């Protein structure tokens, strides 16, 4: 990981399985996620599936980011991971490549640690806005915490 790799993490007072279910319920993102407001996804998420993320930056501007799911490791042995690879034009030209990992780890108290990072590579990474991505990841993490804790209570 480099300094250009935006990340966020948070502890969530909900079981790993509940957090995982919230992460994979992409149809409900518009109800709770202020960063990724909508996900275009045909059917249930699976490895190899193309997805389009409708992202809202802190300044209110929006962008649609084409991605492809590269990993879905369902909860097992106290851990889980969802990852996807950026497939926009800059990636196709080899200028900016990125893989976002969202990892869950069970905590001893029954809660879950959520950590996300975008591993950027390429000569134009600085123009990809790692700082604004990190800010979005922080909003996403806080909202996931609120969503999963609400689901765990309900």
The reported pTM is 0.95
On whether residue 95 sits in a domain, the answer given is yes
Classify residue 1: in a domain, yes or no.
no
Which pLDDT band, with edges at 50, 70 and 90, does 4 fall under? confident
Q: How far is CA 19 from CA 30, 72, 94, 113, in A?
A: 16, 14, 34, 10
pLDDT digits (tens, 9 = 90+) for 54-110: 999 999 999 999 999 999 999 999 999 999 999 999 999 999 999 999 999 999 999
Number of separate domains in the chain: 1
- 114 is in which domain, residue-wise? 7-153
| C-alpha to C-alpha distances, 87 to 27, 71, 99, 133, nearest whole angstrom | 21, 15, 10, 16
Q: Is 129 inside any structural domain? A: yes
On whether residue 121 sits in a domain, the answer given is: yes
pLDDT in tens, 104-143: 999 999 999 999 999 999 999 988 889 999 999 999 999 9
Coil vs helix vs strand at 124: coil
Query: What backbone phi and psi angles, to 5 degrees, belong to 5?
Result: -95, 100
Question: Which CATH number covers residue 100?
Answer: 3.30.530.20
User: Would you say 19 and 114 are in contact if contact means Cβ atoms under 8 Å apart?
Assistant: yes
């Amino acid at each position: 990981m480099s300094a250009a790799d935006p990340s966020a993490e948070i502890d969530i007072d909900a079981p790993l399985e509940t957090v995982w279910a919230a992460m994979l319920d992409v149809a409900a993102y518009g109800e709770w996620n202020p960063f990724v407001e909508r996900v275009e996804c045909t059917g249930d998420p699976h490895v190899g599936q193309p997805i389009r993320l409708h992202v809202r930056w802190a300044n209110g501007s929006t962008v649609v980011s084409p991605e492809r799911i590269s990993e879905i490791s369902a909860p097992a042995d106290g851990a889980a991971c969802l990852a996807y690879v950026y497939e926009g034009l800059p990636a196709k030209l080899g200028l900016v490549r990125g893989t976002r990992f969202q990892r869950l780890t069970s905590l001893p108290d029954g809660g879950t640690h959520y950590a996300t990072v975008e591993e950027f590579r390429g000569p134009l990474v600085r123009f990809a806005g790692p700082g604004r991505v990190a800010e979005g990841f922080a909003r996403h993490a806080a909202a996931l915490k609120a969503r999963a804790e609400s689901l765990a209570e309900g």
